Structure 1
Amino acid sequence: MDECKLLLENLPVKIFYKDEKSIYLFCNESFARYLHIKTGEIAGKTDYDFFPKDIAEEYREYDKEVIRSGQRKDKEWRYWKDGQELIFYTIKLPVKDENGDIIGILGMALDMTERVKLERDTVRSGYLALLGELTAGVAHEINNPITGIINCAQILLNKSSEGSREKNLASRIIKEGDRIANIVSKLISFAQGSDGKEKTLASIHEIVSAILTLAETQLRKDCIKIKLNIPDNLPKILVNFQEIQEVFMNLISNARYALNQKYSKSHRNKILEILAEEITMHEHKFVKTTFYNHGTGIPAYITENGIRAKYLSYGIVNDHGGKLTINSIEGKYTKISIILPAIREVFLLKQNK
């Protein structure tokens, strides 16, 4: 008996036993930890004691199906807890006495959250890699003829007399050609990313400008106004440029979606504000960049941890020694700040770890 108990306690599966009325009688240590209780505290409890009413009712209906059918039932469950989507694969078996009557339910639950997340990330990484290759290829194809157009326009400019219509047209062609070439260059850089995790000195103004070069046309098309307040004298930060670009692009995309959901057409409040400032935390200097919009806001049932996991590249910010803060009211606004250590503080923070 002790050997069986030892086995149950060490299995990487959540195990529980209920009677025919869905009242818990026993669970192993893994399931108890998940419920934040001790194993001896589960006896006499029901799902209503541990889960929201709607989820508890689903679980009990699932129990009834097992009792009615007398058959094993397998099911994948997805729900939110503490702001994180959890995924469990469950198996429930009817327990019968010596007469064949069902007297309870034996349940097992395997946490699939990390596995599913890893699979998603793998698929996403492969998709992004392919998309990056395609984007870079298209960008290079655009870049070659643009270079030819600029060179031809330069020849026309050199041969045209001062003040002539031809010279004016040539100047405009060169100006617009250079703008396209700049966009293509930024697109190639964003698509290809970096080969490793190396970090370089960069300014917030530089990162935001690179992203807006790619996103500004779409924002303008959606009638979204951009308000920038990024002082020129902010200290630089040590970052993986492409990774922080990804974070900022994600925030801008989320803001665009929220604003379009709330305002289908042009509106005076259809504005995305991007603000940057130097701040001090725990006697260290940081650069704080805030993305502020009056869109739909973030649903109230999703906590800050859930927002980080679901919407943002929080791991990237964390890897840079930074912090992410969220302030949002559903239906009113969302204000998300990325706080990264200033360059003169990076080495001090590393020494203090």
Structure 2
Amino acid sequence: MTENKLHILLIEDNPGDARLIKEMLSESTLQYSVGHSQTLSDGLEKLNSTHFDAIFLDFNLPDCEGLDSIPRIKKAAPKTPIVMLTGLDDENTAVCALRTGAQDYLVKGKIDIDALARSLRYSIERKRAEGEIETYNKRLEILVHERTKELVSANEEIQTANELLENIFSNVHVLLAYMDTDFNFIRVNNRYAEADGHVPEFFIGKNHFALYPNEENEAIFRKVAETGETFFVRAKPFRYAEHPERGTTFRDWSLRAVKDEYGKVSGLVLSLIDVTQNIMLYEELLRTDHLASIGKLAAGVAHEINNPINGVINYAQILLNRCDTESKEHEIAGRIIKESDRIAGIVSNLLTFARDKKEAKRPTDLKAVLSDSLALMETQLRKNGARLNVHLPDDLREVVANHQQIQQVFLNVISNASYALNRKYPSAHEDKVLEITGMRTELEDKPYVRMIFHDHGSGIPAGILDRIMAPFFTTKSGDDGTGLGLSICHGIINDHEGKIRVESVEGAFTRIIIDLPAL
């Protein structure tokens, strides 16, 4: 459509009606030109070769009747408005024409100049508006499509990020729990649930302090919820009330507040890191440093003692050689040599133990390990009035072990037994006995050697029996113990793929049972 002149196509087979339409157009204020066709096919040819701004279409044509002509016109000129002309004053027909694609519907005989001009302008304007709407719709479809692609891509990225975060949350070695400000669990990760022997769903909705009552920790939680300040503590000891057999674990743990957009605390995140192994390594480092100091001292002592002992042995041997074999002097010289050899053996064992050699595991005879251990401890036991009963079968199988490390375990267990016997019996007593038994056994259809150290001493209270393997835990007073011995023994036996357990009744006995894989 140009700004000043309309190009109109009139498709009308009735010459009188066509002349009337043309006359009305000529009397209007519109600037126009009219192309006329008496059949639909001729009109379609004109539409294919010429642009028209509007079409007046007769309802009944020689080559097409009714509304069927509208789709064909729309196919040839989809952007050109159509005004349907008919002699039928039928509202249903008018509605159908509009639904089929016409922009207006005029009844012949009721058309005046103003109605015709108004209908023409309306139809053109409506068609233009439809075109703009269609253009806008297409643009909108493109924008929606592009935005949808962006949203799909963003959602995929968010889903990928969420999956990554979920994977990290579920599998990170840190124990994580998210809870509300009343300390009810909202979410926990797998590690947190596994640590308590449950699945994550078990915790949802449950209160933290209903599961783990602790007034000190509850006060900490309330302070963080009220102030929003983070709380952090290193190597905090923790015990599972439902799993006393696990003993004490040490954890670094922090409690952080989650805040909303207004800075108000809306939740809490508890994170726990198990540092028990680190504590054990630190203890091992202390032990190693302590043994290194003993080693230096032992080396000096051995040098200072071995020289005079060798002299004593040599002179005693001279006396032994010069004396009559039946004389008192010969007997005394023999005793001097025997006791001097024992002193030299003790010094050698002490030096070997203190060196803490990092030897590879090899086939080891536990009878020899026990013999070396008793060489250092037996005299002290007898001095304290304790009796020692050892029962080791000749066919006791060898184990793959580090001789020095297993000797360390035996020395620690014997030392603890001696302490318990002395506490119960300060002086000699018929029940002041340490029994050491070795035997063959099977665990899970595999051969093991079992060593049992059974003392009739003061025993261990039932309430602390599950904690005696924990680092730094000791029942000894003052400087008598550091609480490292049994925890280190436990670590050594585990390293040898063995097992160590304790049976005890307070005031009656303690039995340490050590199982090591046999060859």
Per the normalisation by structure 2, the TM-score is 0.57
**Native 8 Å contact 1:17 1:107 kept in 2:** yes
- Work out which of the residue numbers 27, 41, 61 in structure 1 matches 2:219: 61
Pair 1:78 & 2:240 matched: no
Displacement of 1:340 in angstroms is 4.3
Q: What SS does the aligned partner of 2:512 have?
A: strand
Q: Which residue of 1 aligns with 2:384?
A: 222
Q: 1:35-80 CA distances to partner (integer Å, 9 max, x unpaired)?
A: 33343443321124433x3xx3332121122234442221232023
Q: 1:298-338 CA distances to partner (integer Å, 9 max, x unpaired)?
A: 44346779749854634544565655454333442222233
Q: 1:224-272 CA distances to partner (integer Å, 9 max, x unpaired)?
A: 22122334x3344144322322221122122123323434444432211
Displacement of 1:101 in angstroms is 3.7
Unpaired runs of 5+ residues, structure 2, are 1-157, 472-485
Partners of 1:320 and 1:104 in 2: how far apart? 46
Displacement of 1:214 in angstroms is 0.3
- Work out which of the residue numbers 44, 58, 79 in structure 1 matches 2:205: 44
Q: Which residue of 2 aligns with 1:332?
A: 508
- Work out which of the residue numbers 104, 113, 117 in structure 1 matches 2:280: 117
Partners of 2:497 and 2:177 in 1: how far apart? 41
Which residue identity is paired with 2:225? I
Which residue identity is paired with 1:337? I
Displacement of 1:25 in angstroms is 2.3
**Native 8 Å contact 1:250 1:312 kept in 2:** no
Q: What SS does the aligned partner of 1:118 have?
A: helix
- Work out which of the residue numbers 175, 191, 196 in structure 2 matches 1:30: 191
Q: What SS does the aligned partner of 2:405 have?
A: helix
Partners of 2:172 and 2:370 in 1: how far apart? 49
Residue identity over aligned pairs, in percent, reads 36
**Native 8 Å contact 1:91 1:109 kept in 2:** yes
Q: What SS does the aligned partner of 2:462 have?
A: coil
Q: How does 1:312-351 map to 2 (within 5 A)?
A: 313-314=489-490, 316-317=492-493, 322-340=498-516, 346=519
**Native 8 Å contact 1:203 1:234 kept in 2:** no
Pair 1:149 & 2:312 matched: yes
Partners of 2:446 and 2:224 in 1: how far apart? 59
Pair 1:89 & 2:252 matched: yes
Q: 1:211 to 1:274 in 2, by over 3 A?
A: same
Q: Which residue of 1 aligns with 2:79?
A: none
Partners of 1:305 and 1:173 in 2: how far apart? 47
Q: 1:315 to 1:8 in 2, by over 3 A?
A: closer
**Native 8 Å contact 2:469 2:490 kept in 1:** no
**Native 8 Å contact 2:183 2:209 kept in 1:** no
Which residue identity is paired with 1:255? A
Q: What SS does the aligned partner of 1:313 have?
A: helix
Partners of 1:198 and 1:24 in 2: how far apart? 48
Aligned residues: 338
Q: Which residue of 2 aligns with 1:275?
A: 437
Which residue identity is paired with 2:188? C
Q: Which residue of 2 aligns with 1:296?
A: 458
Displacement of 1:100 in angstroms is 3.9
**Native 8 Å contact 1:29 1:39 kept in 2:** yes
Q: Which residue of 1 aligns with 2:395?
A: 234
Q: Which residue of 1 aligns with 2:420?
A: 258
Q: What SS does the aligned partner of 1:20 have?
A: coil
**Native 8 Å contact 1:237 1:340 kept in 2:** no
Pair 1:16 & 2:177 matched: yes
Q: What SS does the aligned partner of 1:219 have?
A: helix
Unpaired runs of 5+ residues, structure 1, are 347-353
- Structure of greater relative contact order (alpha carbons < 8 Å, 6+ residues apart): 1
Displacement of 1:147 in angstroms is 0.6
Displacement of 1:198 in angstroms is 4.3
Of residues 249-258 and 238-247 in structure 1, the stretch that sits farther from structure 2 once superposed is: 238-247
Cα-Cα RMSD: 3.3
Partners of 2:411 and 2:340 in 1: how far apart? 25
Q: Which residue of 2 aligns with 1:207?
A: 369
**Native 8 Å contact 2:434 2:454 kept in 1:** yes
Q: 1:143 to 1:73 in 2, by over 3 A?
A: same
Partners of 1:283 and 1:99 in 2: how far apart? 64
Of residues 84-93 and 145-154 in structure 1, the stretch that sits farther from structure 2 once superposed is: 84-93
Q: Which residue of 2 aligns with 1:182?
A: 345
**Native 8 Å contact 1:156 1:167 kept in 2:** yes
**Native 8 Å contact 1:234 1:277 kept in 2:** no
Larger Rg: 2
Which residue identity is paired with 1:109? L
Which residue identity is paired with 1:74? F
